[in-house]
Structures are given as C-alpha cells and as structure tokens.
Amino acid sequence: MSIIGGFDVHRRQVTFDWVDRDSGEARRGRVAPATRVALRGWLGELPCAEGAFAVEGCTGWRFVVEELQAAGLVAHLAEPAETSSLRGPKRRAKTDRTDARLLRELLEQGRLPSSWIPPTWILDLRTTVRLRKTLVDQRTAWQQRIHAALFHHGLPRPDQGPVLHPFQPGLDQGGELGEVAFGQVGQGSL
C-alpha cells in the first residue's frame, strides 16, 4: 500500500490527511461539499491507486467507505469511542485536521480500533428496520397525544382498537370535544 490516510467526515466537508509512503509526499485539506460526487472526483486525482484510508464510524461513513472501495482503496472503519481514548490527554483544541491526522497515524501504526464494515444488503436491512421502528414510535406518540386530548376534555378512550380516527362513531360524544381539540385530534388521526 502506497498511500495511507485518514478522513474526518462532517456534513459540509471531509477533511483528509494522507501520506504516500513511496514518495514521502504528504497532503492535508478538505473536500467540499461532502458528497459522493465531490469525493469521487477527489479520489480520482490521487497520485496512486493503491492505499488505505481510515474513517471514523460516525454519521456519513457509509458513502465514504463505498467510494473508497469503488476506487480500489482499502477502507478501515474506526470505532469512535476507542479512537477518542487513544487521542490521549487533551492539550489543545480538537480540530478536524488533528482528527484526520490521528486516524492516519493510528492506521500507519496498526493501532486503529476497527469496526466491521457490513455488506450493503445488511446496511440496507438495518436502515429499513430502523425506519420501521421510528414510524411505529411516531404512531404511538400520536396515539398517546390523541388519548391525552380526549382525557383532557373528559372523554373516554375509544375501545375500537389502537388506531384512532377523528370520525369514529362516538368519538365526540355530544360535541364536548370542542372545535380546537377536535381539530387537534383530527390532525393526529392515524
């Protein structure tokens, strides 16, 4: 492997620090914006197609790892908590440049605390499961909000199952719910 480097990924930019072991050339800087297209273009400009980069396993790591692999480079996913503990005592402010350099140095020394990079199908499955969990949680929150609005107005909770709808028979017994509360329950109908 000729190039060894580290990436610090943020929403606006990807900060890099790399060294070419053969020539001794070293570079650091930023790729902005932090998108696949910008990173792909930057990777295409590297002087060598062989090498390895370390990326911290935080938000945004997936597209960086996929682009590194597509460019023929080896991607290493660093475990964030252990990487932070290897930083040592904090003497100066932590910056993106120092984070990228730390990842590169740990990779060079063989001390990078690695995480497993799952295959794409597992990543997609995880995303689907997490989305479902989020949607179920939001649905539950809306149901609880509707129940609270009904209770606040002294109305019983409907016994027709967990799904509420503002036009269920008997929801507003005798018009006691009021226009604003009925609108609130109606907006949260599930």
- Tell how strand 74-78 and strand 51-56 pair up: parallel
What separation in angstroms does the CA of 115 have from each of 14, 78, 83, 122, 166? 20, 6, 11, 15, 48
What size, in residues, is the chain? 190
Given this model, what pLDDT does residue 48 score? 76
* Higher-confidence position of 182 and 122: 122
Average pLDDT, the chain: 83
Instruction: Give the tokens for residue 49.
Output: 């197609």
**How far apart (Å, rounded) are the C-alpha atoms in residues 9 and 1?**
23
* Higher-confidence position of 152 and 8: 8
Given this model, what pLDDT does residue 21 score? 86
**How far apart (Å, rounded) are the C-alpha atoms in residues 111 and 114?**
9
What residues does each domain of the chain span? Answer: 3-117, 121-187
pLDDT tier for residue 174 given thresholds of 50, 70 and 90: low
39 sits in which H/E element: helix 36-44
**Range of lowest pLDDT (13-17, 109-113, 165-169):** 165-169
What separation in angstroms does the CA of 169 have from each of 151, 161, 164, 174? 17, 13, 11, 11
**How far apart (Å, rounded) are the C-alpha atoms in residues 6 and 173?**
64
Given this model, what pLDDT does residue 24 score? 85
pLDDT tens sequence across 15-47: 999 999 888 888 999 999 999 999 999 999 888
Q: Does domain 3-117 have CATH number 3.30.420.40?
A: yes
